[in-house]
Amino acid sequence: QNKFSVAISETLGNLGEQFPPKDLNQLYKTYLETILMEQPSFEVTPEKEKKWNDLSKILSLSKKETSENYRLVTTPVFQKKIKESLLTGKLDQKQKDEIENLEISLKLEKNTCSIIKTSAYRECLEEIMENQKILKSEDLLKLNEIRIFLSLKWENVQSIHDITSEPIFKKSVLEAMGATGIIPSNYWEGLEKLRKRLLLTEQKAKEIFYQCVKEKLKIIFEKAVTDNKKRNTPQNSESKDSGDDPSVKQGAGTALGIEAGDSSGNQLFNLIDLYFRNKIFIENEQVFPENKMSVLKGLSGRSEILISSRSKLDFSYPVTLRGQFEEKTITEMYRQYLVDCFSAKLQSEKRRLFNNLDKLGPILGLSPIQINSIHSGVGVVIYQKYLSQALSKGFLDQSDNAFLSNIQATLSMDSGKCSEIVREGKRSVVNFRVEQIFASPNVNPDRVSEMRKLAIQFGIDLKE
């Protein structure tokens, strides 16, 4: 027969050059189907293999084409057998052995068989979940029986459950979050039970939860942006009560002369509140060893080293708004929150905003470099404005110095830069007094004397 195929090839020439590849491949697949039906049906024997290999040579098919055609013909046969077995509902050992024997007789690749079986399992799962969204106990038992019948490991079908159940679990999480985005404490147990019933992995459930959190964070941030645009729109408004903050002057609007909104309604604080009340952050405890030298009592010149340790609790933020909005928008909103921290009229409000400042930046997706840059820019403005107000009375008292030190420490400002701002501020006040004196047609000796005293008090050399 081999001589016969060679003779045909020599007579017909290269058929691949005479007919379209599509026609040749279709002819080969039709021949394969016919040969497989020969007794013993759907069993690959050496004789059958020789027949289709000879035809492959006659048709000038490549090894890759031959292999792919075989897969295309045998795969439906295997799929059909599995579907017929599942439809009978009798998932017994006899049916299982028939499937395994067919797999062996068709010489199918393990990976191909695994794909076909997992596909069949997925169809069973989708059929069950079509009428009901949540699996019942009997459904779980049936699915487990199907999985064992198809010789599938749990890891083979886990991703199917994750993908199929994701919309259901996500809908439940969003419903639990409600309008505020904060899941009540008594809802967590219910969500965990639902996760187990849906056969979701903890990792997949966490990913879905993070998706929901990000959606809520985006909604809150968008509202914050809208509120910020509204409050920055010029409008006439009456001064409000300055509360118990001694640094705010009546009628001044804010202590620092910078625009500040109603901090009690600050949406960015709601964003932080959602994040922490849902316990999204991850705690990272770092332990640092410490050695301390201690002199032994009653033993002159003798000492001992005491080894101890201290720990520092840090947080990492698995969900952020990085990439969700323009960087310019995020940095501007963080800058405005920082302004609100200093210009809030109630001390209690200031403390609340300041206590959450270090959390906001990472949640917004800002890097430490970006945060420090914003702190530096806003810090200089706030420092200068407060300094200008304080110096207007001719001196800096203890409370002024304390507040300036607080700004410097909070925003990690360079001490040299702050000292330079103070010197320039004092010099500007003295220069302004000098300009006022010479702007008048007649020089007032009393005003000159006051200016000299002020210059001495500020340490300004008038000769410079």
What's the pLDDT tens digit per position in 40-59?
Answer: 677 777 887 788 777 787 77
pLDDT tens per residue across span 383-441: 778 777 777 776 777 787 887 887 777 777 777 877 777 777 777 777 777 777 777 77
Mean pLDDT value across residues 10-39: 71
Are residues 184 and 279 in contact, defined by beta-carbon separation less than 8 angstroms?
no
Are residues 245 and 346 in contact, defined by beta-carbon separation less than 8 angstroms?
yes
Comparing 94-98, 142-146, 170-174, 281-285, which segment has the lowest mean pLDDT? Answer: 281-285
- Residue 251's φ and ψ, nearest 5 degrees, are 80, 0
455 contact partners, CB below 8 Å, separation of at least 6: 430, 461, 462
pLDDT of 23 reads 82
pLDDT of 188 reads 94
pLDDT of 8 reads 43
Residue 281: Cβ within 10 Å count: 17
Average pLDDT, the chain: 80
Does pLDDT of 4 surpass 60? no
pLDDT of 251 reads 36
Omega cis (within 30) before 40: yes
pLDDT band at residue 89 using 50, 70 and 90 as cut-offs? confident
pLDDT band at residue 7 using 50, 70 and 90 as cut-offs? very low
Torsion, Cα of 376, 379, 384, 386 (10° steps): -170
Does pLDDT of 244 surpass 50? no
pLDDT tens per residue across span 100-123: 988 888 888 899 999 999 999 999
Does pLDDT of 305 surpass 90? no
pLDDT of 310 reads 66
251 contact partners, CB below 8 Å, separation of at least 6: 239
pLDDT of 182 reads 94
pLDDT tens per residue across span 118-176: 999 999 999 888 876 788 889 999 999 999 999 999 999 999 999 999 999 999 999 99
Measured distance CA(145)–CA(96) in Å, rounded: 12
Most confident of 132-141, 152-161, 281-290, 453-462: 152-161
Mean pLDDT value across residues 231-247: 52
Does pLDDT of 250 surpass 90? no
Decide which of 316 and 17 is more confident: 316
pLDDT of 434 reads 73
Using left for φ > 0, alpha for ψ between -120 and 50, and beta otherwise, residue 136 falls in: beta
Measured distance CA(462)–CA(464) in Å, rounded: 5
pTM of the entire structure?
A: 0.70
pLDDT of 40 reads 67
Does pLDDT of 249 surpass 50? no
Decide which of 134 and 258 is more confident: 134
Structure tokens that stand for 213 in this block: 């959190």
What is each CA distance from 77 to 71, 81, 82, 150, in whole angstroms?
10, 6, 9, 16
pLDDT band at residue 255 using 50, 70 and 90 as cut-offs? very low
- 425-436 burial: b if 16+ Cβ within 10 Å, else e: bbbebbeebeee
